[in-house]
C-alpha cells in the first residue's frame, strides 16, 4: 500500500488562484504570484524552451488542459499519436551580449527514464517521431517579444532525417538545419509535422 502511494500520478491543471497556506490559514499569496515571479522572464533559456513547447502544442492542436509531463521521453504527443521533440534557440539572451548568440540545437540521443517505474532504458536513442526546431530570430533586445510568433522561425525534421544526418549526431547548427528544411510559420506547422511523420513510416 505504501509503495502504491509513491506511484507517478497525473497532476491537475491549476487556476492560479490557489493560495499559500500556513497553520490552516490562507496567506495573501497565490500560485499566480509564484508563476509571475518564477516565469515572467520568457527570454531566459529555460523558460523560453518551455514556452516553445507550449507554442508548438497550440499549433498542433494538443490538449493544453493536460499538464505537461516534464519527465517524458519526448515533449509532446499530437491527437494522432505523433511524438514530437521541441528544441529552441535564440539570438538574444537575458544577460549582457557583445554579439548575437550562435544558433545551435542539441539533437543527442538519450536513455529514456520511465518516471512511473523509475527505470532507465539501456540504449540511447531518439524517442520522438518528429523534431521541431524553434528559432527566436528577432535581433533587437528592446523590442523582442517571444509571445509574438512572427519573431520566430520553425523548422521540422523527421527522426529518420536526423538519424541520417552525417555531420553530427549531437547537435545541428542553424545553417545546416536550413539546408535540410525550409523555415515554417506558425500556421504551417501542423501540416508539416504530419508530413514529416509520414517519412518515418515510409522509412
Pairing of strands 130-136, 83-90: parallel
Domain membership of residue 3 (yes or no) is no
Query: Residue 118: pLDDT above 80?
Result: no
Domain membership of residue 22 (yes or no) is no
Confidence class for position 1, pLDDT limits 50, 70, 90: very low
Spatial separation of the C-alpha atoms in residues 30 and 14, rounded to whole Å? 11
Could you read off the pLDDT of 61-114 as tens digits, one per residue? 999 999 999 888 999 999 999 999 999 999 999 999 999 999 999 998 877 666
Domain membership of residue 52 (yes or no) is yes
CB 38 within 8 A of CB 51: no
Grid cell in block for residue 148: 509574438
Pairing of strands 113-114, 119-120: antiparallel
- How many domains is the chain built from? 1
Q: What is the mean pLDDT of the chain?
A: 91
CB 80 within 8 A of CB 194: yes
Domain membership of residue 19 (yes or no) is no
Higher pLDDT, 202 or 169: 169
Which domain covers residue 74, as residue numbers? 43-202
Domain membership of residue 174 (yes or no) is yes
Grid cell in block for residue 2: 505504501
Cα of first residue to Cα of last residue in the chain, in angstroms, is 46
Domain membership of residue 20 (yes or no) is no
Domain membership of residue 177 (yes or no) is yes
Domain membership of residue 105 (yes or no) is yes
Spatial separation of the C-alpha atoms in residues 106 and 57, rounded to whole Å? 20
The whole-number pLDDT of residue 24 equals: 97
Spatial separation of the C-alpha atoms in residues 152 and 88, rounded to whole Å? 10
CB 190 within 8 A of CB 59: yes
Close Cβ partners of 18 (under 8 Å, ≥ 6 residues apart): 30, 31
Amino acid at each position: 500500500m505504501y509503495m502504491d502511494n509513491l506511484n507517478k500520478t497525473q497532476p491537475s491543471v491549476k487556476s492560479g488562484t490557489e493560495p499559500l497556506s500556513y497553520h490552516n490559514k490562507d496567506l495573501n499569496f497565490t500560485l499566480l504570484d509564484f508563476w509571475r515571479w518564477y516565469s515572467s522572464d520568457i527570454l531566459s533559456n529555460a523558460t523560453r524552451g518551455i514556452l516553445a513547447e507550449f507554442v508548438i502544442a497550440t499549433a498542433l492542436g494538443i490538449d493544453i488542459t493536460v499538464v505537461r509531463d516534464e519527465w517524458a521521453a519526448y515533449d509532446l504527443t499530437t491527437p494522432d499519436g505523433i511524438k514530437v521533440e521541441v528544441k529552441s534557440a535564440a539570438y538574444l539572451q537575458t544577460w549582457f551580449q557583445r554579439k548575437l548568440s550562435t544558433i545551435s540545437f542539441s539533437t543527442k540521443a538519450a536513455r529514456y527514464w520511465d518516471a512511473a517505474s523509475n527505470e532507465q532504458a539501456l540504449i540511447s536513442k531518439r524517442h520522438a517521431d518528429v523534431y521541431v526546431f524553434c528559432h527566436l530570430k528577432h535581433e533587437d533586445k528592446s523590442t523582442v517579444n517571444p509571445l509574438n510568433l512572427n519573431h520566430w522561425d520553425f523548422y521540422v525534421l523527421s527522426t529518420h532525417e536526423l538519424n541520417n544526418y552525417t555531420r553530427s549526431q549531437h547537435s545541428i547548427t542553424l545553417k545546416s538545419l536550413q539546408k535540410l528544411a525550409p523555415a515554417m510559420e506558425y500556421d504551417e506547422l501542423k501540416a508539416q509535422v504530419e508530413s514529416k511523420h509520414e517519412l518515418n513510416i515510409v522509412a
